[in-house]
């Protein structure tokens, strides 16, 4: 009788086990830095940044060195002196899970490496189609779903970065007006490391039946991080963030969500729950969560926003 062999693709660490992998990596940020980098409802502390992100940056230093060595070997084999290829880190996960905080802290720590690398950060929000396009296509209620992005433009952007193009621009998205800002761009100039943060960056997409060569955004990512949390926890965080924005950004007269600032508290909570149930939860289940298993590293958060478990993909 044949015995079925099981294989676990990840090595799982408790947060205490993970923290020990920091070794002697020095902390180059202070509490004030962490406070300025965290997002509205992500109460990360300096202590947690040391426990989670110092081991991660140490790991990333090994990956960057390995990729650069591989590129040098390939260039030597081909007989030419190729330019150094930027290392791209992807940060994925649900709405309200804390992607922006992770991306910002990583950028700040990586910039403080002894080699002082140039580290840039781009979010995929800029590659959303403008609202007028989404409205014309009946996709306003699908904003954040894969079809609401100009995926070809995003792939072209990453391809230009990887090819060593010295100046590459990306569109800018405003969360205040809930739209791409016409004519405004962020310019990325020859980064050593580029961090890309977004909901669906790990999606492979549909493969052509004829086997025609095709590339996806995920093909350009050298190391991917998925930030994970349970559905019920994510809903709580989304509602919590919505209620905080109702007291702050939503009150700006230019805010797309200005009308929500005038709702009563029960009505505002109900509105946030409806948005979560009708838009964000289906997107999580259909498109975002299925990509978790493609990540190189999974950071699992608990209801207290803290990371309690780390899973690293085996090589």
Start-to-end C-alpha separation, the chain: 30
Give the per-residue pLDDT at 205: 73
Quickly list H helices, the chain: 15-19, 31-37, 46-78, 99-111, 131-136, 151-162, 231-247, 265-275, 281-283
Confidence of residue 2 (pLDDT cuts 50, 70, 90): very low
Residue 302 is classified by DSSP as: -
Confidence of residue 211 (pLDDT cuts 50, 70, 90): confident
Query: pLDDT tens, 106-148?
Result: 999 999 999 899 999 999 999 999 999 999 999 999 999 999 9
Give the per-residue pLDDT at 3: 52
Average pLDDT over residues 159-186: 95
Taking the domains of the chain in order of start, what are their residue ranges? 85-298
Q: How far apart are CA 70 and CA 93, in angstroms?
A: 29
Confidence of residue 1 (pLDDT cuts 50, 70, 90): very low
CATH top class, domain 85-298: alpha beta
206 pLDDT higher than 80? no
Give the per-residue pLDDT at 6: 65
Give the per-residue pLDDT at 308: 96
Q: How far apart are CA 200 and CA 196, in angstroms?
A: 11
Give the per-residue pLDDT at 38: 87
Averaged pLDDT score across all residues of the chain: 93
Query: pLDDT tens, 9-66?
Result: 999 999 999 999 999 889 999 999 999 998 878 889 999 999 999 999 999 999 999 9
Average pLDDT over residues 65-88: 86
Average pLDDT over residues 183-212: 89
* Rg from Cα positions in the chain: 20
Query: pLDDT tens, 138-163?
Result: 999 999 999 999 999 999 999 999 98
Average pLDDT over residues 89-104: 96
Confidence of residue 204 (pLDDT cuts 50, 70, 90): confident
- The 10 Å Cβ neighbour count of residue 161 is 22
Q: How far apart are CA 267 and CA 71, in angstroms?
A: 56
């Amino acid at each position: 009788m044949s015995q079925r062999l099981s294989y676990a693709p990840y090595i799982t660490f408790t947060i205490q086990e993970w923290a020990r992998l920091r070794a002697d990596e020095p902390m180059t940020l202070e509490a004030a830095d962490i406070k300025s980098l965290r997002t509205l409802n992500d109460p990360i502390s300096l202590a947690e940044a040391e426990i989670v992100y110092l081991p991660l940056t140490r790991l990333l230093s090994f990956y960057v060195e390995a990729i650069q060595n591989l590129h040098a070997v390939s260039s030597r084999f081909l007989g030419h002196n190729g330019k150094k290829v930027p290392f791209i880190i992807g940060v994925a996960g649900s709405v309200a899970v804390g992607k922006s905080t992770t991306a910002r802290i990583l950028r700040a720590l990586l910039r403080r490496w002894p080699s002082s690398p140039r580290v840039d950060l781009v979010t995929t929000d800029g590659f959303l189609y403008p609202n007028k396009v989404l409205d014309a296509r009946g996709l306003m209620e699908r904003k954040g779903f894969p079809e609401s992005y100009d995926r070809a433009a995003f792939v072209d952007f990453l391809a230009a970065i990887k090819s060593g193009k010295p100046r590459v621009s990306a569109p800018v998205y405003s969360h205040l007006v809930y739209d791409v800002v016409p004519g405004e761009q962020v310019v990325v100039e020859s980064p050593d490391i580029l961090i890309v943060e977004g909901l669906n960056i790990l999606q492979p997409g549909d493969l052509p039946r004829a086997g025609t060569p095709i590339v996806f955004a995920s093909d350009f990512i050298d190391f991917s991080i998925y930030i994970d949390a349970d559905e019920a926890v994510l809903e709580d965080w989304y509602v919590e963030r919505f209620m905080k924005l109702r007291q702050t950004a939503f009150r700006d007269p230019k805010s797309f969500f200005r009308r929500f600032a005038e709702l009563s508290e029960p009505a505002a909570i109900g509105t946030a729950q409806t948005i979560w149930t009708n838009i964000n939860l289906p997107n999580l289940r259909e498109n975002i969560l299925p990509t978790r298993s493609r990540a190189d590293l999974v950071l699992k958060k608990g209801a207290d926003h803290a990371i309690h478990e780390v899973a690293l993909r085996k090589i």
